[in-house]
Chains A and B, each alone.
Chain A
Amino acid sequence: MKKIFALALAAAMSLSLAACGGNNNTPAASSTPAAGSTPAASTPAAPSAGELITVGVINNDPNESGYRTANDAAMRATFTEENGYKTTFYNNNDAAQQIATAQQMVQDEVDFLLLSPASTTGWDTVLKDAQAAGTQVILFDRMLEADESMYVAAVVSDMPAEGKTAVDWLAAQGLDEYNIIHIQGHMGSDAQLGRTGALDEKVAAEANWNYVTQQTADWDEATARTITQSVIDSGKPFNVIYAENNGMARGAAAALDAAGITHGKDGDVIVMGFDSDKWAFEEVLAGRWNYMGLCNPLQAETVDSIIKDLAAGKEPAQKIIYTPEQGFDCNTLTQADVDTYGT
């Protein structure tokens, strides 16, 4: 029995490896190790031993959302051999797995450990070990709870600011009454907390701002559609859909379409989404949605330049670097913006 189980697991792993290996975006130099396995090539201790800088990248599952797909693809496109890196990538949404793999990478003495932590806690040991081993840690996309001295830099999205920008935009629309369907992301995630926080504050503060419903759809489009449909079925009036990512906004819009409720530029309901998907930009450009809060997934270049600076002995100017972000309105969005920011 045990043997069979082990066999099954091994088969599962090799299958998932095969699946990852087929990824066209993966540069030839990179490899995707399963937890615990170590490519022998990443052992050299210091950058001086060879030309290449060794880097370990811990990221979330690229299939999680369009945002993550873009984020992961950019990392993989940047940290290539041609660019002077010997990189090991690891993708998992499970923080425990991430931590175990990070530990392994530190033991393998990578020069830089790039982290997008799935949870904000539990990283203390890894960070300490990294410091002791001389591995420099750079956070990207997501923060974690640790003293600033434990990492050299953080290139992240300012989620509370994103929420604030969006809520300010909504307030500027000057509606008499705001009856909001609020569709939240995965509860407790950085993005959810930031985007929910600003709206919660405003709804609590203003008498004419109300929640018709506030539900999490766990970033899932189908769940968002169900939630919206349920509100429509109940006959409660609403005029705003505040969805914390684009996929969920699309699900909600689909429910509106099915019920013949107009939305967007000249519609009855304001539709708001977040992230950077190109198709979502096109929805806004076409006037079917009203607003999209850009959350820039492309931190790879910034991280790349920080590493290059550090290698040249230059400390980064700031510890925490926020990626440039803004909100886009259907009335002002241009095709140029779509081409620049769409992913």
Chain B
Amino acid sequence: MTTPVKNPETQVKRPDESLFKRLTRQQLFIPVAALILLVLFNLIADPSFFAISVKENSLGNPVLSGNIISVLDNASELVILAIGMTLVTASSGGQDISVGATMAIAGSVILRMVCGNEVSANTMHMPLILAVLIGILVSMVFGAFNGTLVAYFKIQPMVATLIMFTAGRSIAAWINNNQLPIMNDITFKYAGTFLPGIPIPTPVFITALVILIFWLVLKFTTLGLYTQSVGINANSSRLNGLDPKLIKLLTYVILGVCVAIAGFIRVSRSGSINYSRIAENIEMDAILAVALGGNALSGGKFNIYGSILGAYVIQFLTTTLYKYDVPSTALPAYKAVVVILLVVLSAPVVREKLASMKKAPAKAAKEVS
């Protein structure tokens, strides 16, 4: 992974560098450790948690069913949001707290497009793909609005996105004249449920596709380097020919696309929308996923796969808690515990302490052997 050391004499390897310490320094340590912990817990408590069975759904299609499938399925919106949130965090050193509200807007637009003006429509008034594209476009505009406030008016991201956080759900309701439209066409729900003959939930595929696209984008463009560079030192970046404002704006627009896709999945799960409840508090989970992925919320370097893993960990935790009948009102408390652990564990002070604590036993072990 690393290039060979150039100046061997300046490279004194510390003799007591333990495996544990090297592991803890890896960025993905936290989400992977959390995931392993959850898996172990479920394996011990009830291995049937991992059982997957084939059932036939109400349309007569064979579908896979089980907790693991549920995790993969239900985490979809969060994973997609976490990807966009990671970029925004990296470039602007802040988070977009309006993603839940703008998901409501995107969902509302898409429903409005396919339902026409009908409150309960049985056929789509517009090709689905066109409706989704319009939804994405609208969502990009709102992303650009947030991005402009952050990049060009230099408003703190949390404050700037507070505007859409406050107004977004009202705008979503206004788009549909305060009606709650329902789309009864089964093909509309394919994206949120199952495609005929395919036993895996469609959101899993959509998420995989989004991850693939971002992998390609990060590989075949310089988005990653530019975003990090701007997030770490905007002055230096400008003097190296970058336009930090434009890049910040770009990340917010990209987040807008992610929001629209997540919103589309969410409305197509049921074919309807509830403006004030849809994706409520999802912004907090998205931010948590970014942090859980080992990314600094103050921006700069990022690892998008860490955030993706973080999102799955959050959903894994939620599903586990549901399985053990923990009241869903108590879920935030459990998440709070995770946040506390996370914040404390990632604090440099604690990391140093952990490392030095592990040193002593390692030495003792050597002596014994």
Partners in one complex: yes
Please report A residues at the B interface, Cβ cutoff 8 Å: 4-5, 8-9, 11-12, 15-16, 19-20, 22-25, 61-66, 69, 73, 93, 187, 213-223, 225-227, 229-230, 232-235, 247, 250-251, 254, 256-262, 277-279, 282
Most buried by A among B48, B166, B170: B170
Q: In the complex, are the beta carbons of A218 and B56 less than 8 A apart?
A: no
* Shortest distance between the CB of A142 and any CB in chain B (Å): 17
B238 proximal to A (CB < 8 A): no
User: Knowing A230-B319, A233-B70 touch, does A62 contact B171 (C-beta < 8 A)?
Assistant: no
**Is A221's CB under 8 angstroms from B48's CB?**
no
Which single member of A23, A66, A233 contacts B65 (CB below 8 Å)? A233
Chain A residues within an 8 Å CB radius of B270:
221-222, 225, 250-251, 254
| CB <8 Å contact, A222 and B266 | yes
Residue pair A215, B328 in contact (C-beta under 8 Å): yes
A51 to chain B, nearest CB (A): 29
Question: Are B328 and A221 neighbours in the complex by a CB distance under 8 Å?
Answer: no
Q: Is the CB of B63 within 8 A of A15?
A: no
Name the one of A12, A214, A223 contacting B162, with C-beta atoms under 8 angstroms.
A12
Is residue B25 within 8 Å, beta carbon to beta carbon, of the partner chain? no
**A219 nearest CB across to chain B (Å):** 6
Q: For the complex, is B229 an interface residue (Cβ under 8 Å from A)? A: no
Taking the closest CB of chain B, its distance from the CB of A119, in whole angstroms, is 17
Q: Please give the residue numbers on chain B whose beta carbons come within 8 Å of chain A beta carbons, in ascending order.
A: 48, 51, 55-59, 63, 65-67, 69-70, 74, 119-120, 149, 153, 155, 159-160, 162-163, 166-167, 169-174, 177-180, 182, 193-194, 201, 266, 269-270, 272, 274-280, 318-319, 322-323, 325, 327-329
Q: Are B193 and A258 in contact (CB under 8 A)?
A: yes
* Residue in contact with B155 in the complex, picked from A8, A24, A247, CB distance below 8 Å: A8
Nearest Cβ in chain B — how far from A249, in angstroms?
Answer: 11
Q: Which B residues are CB-close (under 8 A) to A256?
A: 58
Q: Which residue of A lies closest to B120 (CB)?
A: A279
B274 in contact with A226 (CB, 8 Å): no
A64 touches B277 (CB 8 A): yes
Q: A73-B178, A222-B270, A223-B328 are in contact. List 16 more A-B contacts (CB 8 A).
A: A4-B153, A8-B163, A15-B171, A22-B174, A23-B174, A24-B178, A62-B178, A63-B173, A65-B277, A221-B274, A221-B277, A233-B319, A254-B193, A257-B58, A258-B63, A278-B119
Complex contacts, B182 vs chain A, CB 8 Å: 279
A12 contact set on B, CB distance < 8 A: 162-163, 166-167
Complex CA distance for A12 and B325, rounded to whole angstroms: 39
When the two chains form the complex, which single residue of A69, A221, A226, A260 contacts B55, counting CB atoms closer than 8 Å?
Answer: A260
- CB closest chain-A residue, reference B325: A213
Across the two chains, which residue of chain B brings its CB closest to A231? B322
Residue on A nearest B161 in the bound complex, by CB? A8
A-chain residues with CB within 8 Å of residue B166 when the two chains form the complex:
12, 15-16
Question: What is the chain A residue whose CB lies nearest that of B74?
Answer: A226
Check B323 against A230 for contact (C-beta < 8 Å): yes
How far does the Cβ of B78 sit from chain A's closest Cβ, in whole Å?
12
**Are A260 and B56 also in contact (CB < 8 A) when A62-B178, A230-B319 are?**
yes
> A16 contacts which chain B residues (CB < 8 A)?
166-167, 170
Q: Which residues of A contact B56 (CB under 8 A)?
A: 260
Indicate if the CB atoms of A15 and B277 lie closer than 8 Å.
no
Contact B70 A229 (CB under 8 A): yes
Separation of A251 and B193 alpha carbons in the complex (Å): 12
Residues of the A chain whose Cβ atoms lie less than 8 Å from the Cβ of B323: 230, 233-234
Cβ distance A75 to chain B, nearest Cβ, rounded Å: 13
CB <8 Å contact, B177 and A19: no
Tell me which residues across on chain B come within 8 A of A216, comparing CB atoms: 327-329
A21 to B31, CA, bound (A): 46
* Residues of chain B lying within 8 A (CB to CB) of residue A213: 325
A235 in complex: contacting residue of B48, B63, B169, B325, CB < 8 Å: B48
Cβ of B318: which chain A residues have Cβ within 8 Å of it? 226
In the bound assembly, the distance between CA atoms of A219 and B182 in angstroms comes to: 17
- Known A11-B163, A220-B277, A260-B63: A187·B329 in contact at CB below 8 Å: yes
In contact, B274 and A65 (Cβ under 8 angstroms): yes
CB pair A278 B120 closer than 8 Å: yes
